[in-house]
Structure 1
Amino acid sequence: MKNQFTYLVFTLFIATSVPALAQQHSEQKHDKYIWPKDAQVKQKLENWQDIKFGLLMHWGTYSEWGVVESWSLCPEDEGWCERKGPHSANWYDYKKAYENLQTTFNPVKFNPERWANAAKGAGMKYMVFTTKHHDGFCMFDTKQTDYKITDTKTPFSSNPRSNVTKEILGAFRQQGFMVGTYFSKPDWHTENYWWPYFPPKDRNVSYDPKKRPDLWKKFSDFTYNQIEELMSDYGKVDILWLDGGWVRPFSSIDSTISWQRTIPYNQDIDMARIAGMARQHQPGLLVVDRTVPGEFENYVTPEQSIPDHYMPIPWESCMTMGNSWSYVPEENFKSARKLVQTLVDIVAKNGNLLLNIAPGPDGEWHEEAYQRLQEIGKWIAVNGESIYGTKPLAPYRQGQWAFTSTGKAIYASYLPTDSEKQLPPSVALPALTVAPTAKVTVLGASHLLKMTKTKDGLSVVIPDKVRQQLAGQPVWVLKIG
């Protein structure tokens, strides 16, 4: 493998709804990926690539209003920043009311063990939690600010499990998960980012850091100190997942990407210093400085989108189970069929799927989210061997087929259309390198299938008994080996 992969451009499939977290990342190209040199980081990256399927959770005070996470605070004339409700006419009144949600936030049904059990049952194997989003409200017991869930102003602070980040990481670790901390680099609450002397104009810092290096130093130290808390006080952490890609060195801005062209200042927080400190506390830590190509973006993260081709670098599609990253009272969840097909498509192209579910203000998920995970888990229980620990196999994705391999077995996954309830009586596969003695089955049925070579590849006959036995599956997997 090369240290840099030359000129990768994502041609994206964009989901029908593009929620707010996606807006700054809808265009991506990665021609500067750098493979890590640290042996422990390389090993963890390989392990992470083997486990394929993770859970992301966006949760904060914004769930009380059922509004988009953080972005309604942002003074940009964009659809995802729209303010709603009685305070929406005046930005200052709105920000005051929004930040006052701290005084009513009380998720009394918080039960991270239920989440961890449901995620494990679905076949998820890693988890990333939003310790702090752009609004600056901390879902952990930071010593750097009182704008946090554990402060006495917050009703939930009296709960013995009020440090929800610690509780969540612990519950998922107990189930054998890799765990990660989402952390927003920008912070719209601290006066050292949105300095009160100047009203903010957009998502960026409200002053020129070059002109006011003392303020920027305070902000950089604040960021460093909070990340150090997360890396030293919360047990073993596998992934530091950094969002808010406009906080970046000016030299890293790609002027061909529209949202990066709007970054007015150099916002360098010294990632080498942060990553070095973090790995002292957490050897082998994966650092994901999203959209900032280089040594601190250990894997890339297309958002609400799937590359249309195989990608030979480590990558992860982060996508929502419904339409929103944050909790909304009436959510439109994707079908289990769609979610399974999404996972299969991503894995065949060398990626991982990080699927977001948003807890509500009471500390619970929608019951429908649990139902979706149960349905996914039923498929995984039978077909998981075609997912975990596999590598993509050329031609990767062709028509309705997706291909993976363990080296000993080939898995040809058939993604049916909405109208297909059974496998066809016979299926045509492309020309795969298959041993003459290879046996073919459909996972979930023990019946050996008849396979013959054709001029274009392979043909496999599916008996009626097998077709009926496995009717209605989101994906059927042929195992050859």
Structure 2
Amino acid sequence: MKTLYLLLSALVMTACGTPEENSVEKNNQNANEYVATWNSLAKHETPKWLTDAKFGIYTHWGISTVDYSRNQKDIARPETKDEEISAMKNSLEDFKAEKFNPKAWAKLFKEAGAKFAGPISWHGSPYIHWDSDLTPYNSVDMNPHRDIVGELQEAIYAEGMKFLMTLHASQHEDWLNICMDGINKYVPDLLWVDASFGETKGWRFINRTHFVGEAEMPEEPRALSDADQRTFIANYYNQALKKGKEVEFTYKSSDIPPCVGMRDLENGLMDQLYDTPWLTDVDMNICPDWATHGWFYREGIPLRDANNIIDMLADVVSKNGILLLNVPPKADGSFPVEVEETLHKVGAWLNINGEAIYNTTPWSLFGEGPTVINSNNNKFHHNDHFAQNKFTQKDIRFTVNGNNIYAICLGTPNDDQLCIKAMSSVLSLRKGDIENVSILGFPSFETKWCHDEQGLTVSLPDFENEQFAVVIKVTLSK
């Protein structure tokens, strides 16, 4: 294994050389090729397809789902490698995935309005979800004897979506080699890494008492070395160049320098408009406490409803973010009825109001309203872990698409008119700036409006049958 890693490292690092060589590119080097330095990697640009997409879906599914289905509510981490292998094999006996249908999964994700999707590819044990020659503990050589990653990639591409792979926490000694194997085989459009990559080192240092307390900090780092991180990302970006793909690398909090990839918050929301695009991965499960912290499907754990997901999506997009929703399948590969129903409701809302979400950019103000997002000690990481942020009908979020500003009311207004104070003629928009106002989903309603120093006051139709956010489309004068 070490020989393979050294070979991969050498291929990526050949252009690094001495400090003198780093200052000048070699004549025979592809001008677009990345070398394993933060300077070179920082030249990477986030692809437009991702900033336009706004909404993606991924799935926590695997042997942990089996463990939870056996009512193992608190799965203890094995203390030795032999114990880990034994536990994995025991779980694999029931991981037969007899109802796993990649085409049906991809169709459901597309109908929900997702623009990118994919599976967790490796999570917390020696077992990986793709066909690999580097380890026998994979989904082809063992149950369910299927290339989960490969089959989902094919199905997701067939539905016109981009493909995501995620690589999660594992202290496996060959983590780097095996992950490179997966990246080189599938070259996903979006690559998401969890704590094994950087152990969220930035905020753990700044807020070192949040989880374990200063006296209990580990003596040795558990994440990859700085050099291994650079080698890994350079390899991924260069593989994408060879395939002609525009890709993005997504990392937790402060695990790598800014501008190399896109920052991810776990179950986290920003309280303000962020200068650069960011991602939040949000669990559909609502875990009641840290003891039941999970992401995999468990009977009896409440789920976020469509209203919560739609409100969160609007809030995230208004602040320059992208929402990645975790949707948990059952151990057999099927989705619970309530999960499918919720996703269809989200998709139905996006069919009507998608122009206020997809392909948008933030306005100068993200919104208005009484709800304040809790920043917590982790600077937004985990600040919605228990779905504690509740929006109201008085919370409004703004997005921009072309010559239109969209005011998304996070709730159904119960009055016959609404005043959007942020659009005051003495604050943000001058008199004469607005050409027309309409309400998405109500084409026959004649919207009356008044724009003055108090704001933009809009007449509203009867929302008796509306359950979710309402979008007011403000068309500006050219």
Scaled by the length of structure 2, the TM-score of the pair is: 0.73
For 1:284-433, what aligned pairs fall within 5 Å after superposition?
284-291=246-253, 292-294=255-257, 298-323=261-286, 324-399=294-369, 400-416=395-411, 423-430=414-421, 431=424, 432-433=428-429
Aligned residue among 178, 193, 212 for 1:226: 178
TM-superposed CA distance for 1:423, in Å, is 4.5
Structure 2 SS opposite 1:233? helix
Correspondence 1:454 to 2:452: yes
Corresponding letter in the other structure for 2:326: N
**Contact kept in structure 1, 2:118 and 2:156, CA below 8 Å:** no
Q: Would the alpha carbon gap of residues 377 and 49 (structure 1) be closer, same or farther in structure 2, given more than 3 Å must change? A: same
Correspondence 1:175 to 2:137: no
Q: Would the alpha carbon gap of residues 69 and 271 (structure 1) be closer, same or farther in structure 2, given more than 3 Å must change? A: farther
Scaled by the length of structure 1, the TM-score of the pair is: 0.73
Q: Structure 1: which 5+ runs fail to align?
A: 1-32, 77-89, 191-218
- Greater RCO (Cα-Cα under 8 Å, separation 6 or more): 1
Correspondence 1:474 to 2:468: yes
Corresponding letter in the other structure for 2:45: K
Structure 2 SS opposite 1:364? coil
Distance 1:106 1:53 in 2: 30
Correspondence 1:143 to 2:133: yes
**Contact kept in structure 2, 1:131 and 1:139, CA below 8 Å:** yes
Q: Would the alpha carbon gap of residues 409 and 251 (structure 1) be closer, same or farther in structure 2, given more than 3 Å must change? A: closer
Structure 1 SS opposite 2:157? helix
Distance 1:425 1:35 in 2: 56
Structure 1 SS opposite 2:107? helix
Structure 1 SS opposite 2:144? helix
Partner of 1:49: 51
Distance 2:197 2:239 in 1: 26
Identity of aligned residues (%): 23
Structure 1 SS opposite 2:462? helix
For 1:19-98, what aligned pairs fall within 5 Å after superposition?
37-38=42-43, 41-44=44-47, 46-66=48-68, 72-74=75-77, 96-98=86-88
**Contact kept in structure 1, 2:67 and 2:75, CA below 8 Å:** no
**Contact kept in structure 1, 2:275 and 2:320, CA below 8 Å:** yes
Q: Would the alpha carbon gap of residues 248 and 345 (structure 1) be closer, same or farther in structure 2, given more than 3 Å must change? A: closer
TM-superposed CA distance for 1:185, in Å, is 5.5
Partner of 2:149: 165
Corresponding letter in the other structure for 1:433: L
Partner of 2:378: none
TM-superposed CA distance for 1:388, in Å, is 0.5
Corresponding letter in the other structure for 1:460: V
Distance 2:295 2:175 in 1: 24
Aligned residue among 190, 193, 204 for 1:239: 190
Distance 1:252 1:480 in 2: 40
1:286-312, CA deviations, whole angstroms, 9 ceiling, x for partnerless residues? 122323031585111111221122111
Partner of 2:168: 184
Distance 2:200 2:397 in 1: 39
Q: Would the alpha carbon gap of residues 428 and 301 (structure 1) be closer, same or farther in structure 2, given more than 3 Å must change? A: same
Q: Structure 2: which 5+ runs fail to align?
A: 1-37, 287-293, 370-394
For 1:272-291, what aligned pairs fall within 5 Å after superposition?
272-283=230-241, 284-291=246-253
Distance 2:420 2:203 in 1: 44
Distance 2:267 2:440 in 1: 29
For 1:100-111, what aligned pairs fall within 5 Å after superposition?
100-111=90-101
1:424-481, CA deviations, whole angstroms, 9 ceiling, x for partnerless residues? 211111224264451111001123322212332221122xxx224x632311100011
Distance 1:249 1:401 in 2: 32
Distance 2:409 2:397 in 1: 7
Structure 2 SS opposite 1:273? helix
TM-superposed CA distance for 1:322, in Å, is 2.2
Correspondence 1:265 to 2:265: no
Q: Would the alpha carbon gap of residues 386 and 239 (structure 1) be closer, same or farther in structure 2, given more than 3 Å must change? A: same
Partner of 1:121: 111
Partner of 2:435: 438
Distance 1:93 1:134 in 2: 13
Corresponding letter in the other structure for 1:363: G
Corresponding letter in the other structure for 2:55: F
Q: Would the alpha carbon gap of residues 408 and 318 (structure 1) be closer, same or farther in structure 2, given more than 3 Å must change? A: same
Q: Would the alpha carbon gap of residues 108 and 424 (structure 1) be closer, same or farther in structure 2, given more than 3 Å must change? A: same
TM-superposed CA distance for 1:104, in Å, is 3.3
Corresponding letter in the other structure for 1:178: K
How many aligned positions are there?
A: 386
Corresponding letter in the other structure for 1:369: V
1:391-442, CA deviations, whole angstroms, 9 ceiling, x for partnerless residues? 11132121111111114101011112xxx5x542111112242644511110
Q: Mean Cα displacement is larger for which, 443-452 or 362-371? A: 443-452
Corresponding letter in the other structure for 1:293: I
Partner of 2:383: none
Distance 1:43 1:66 in 2: 37
Distance 1:69 1:112 in 2: 27
Q: Would the alpha carbon gap of residues 473 and 250 (structure 1) be closer, same or farther in structure 2, given more than 3 Å must change? A: closer
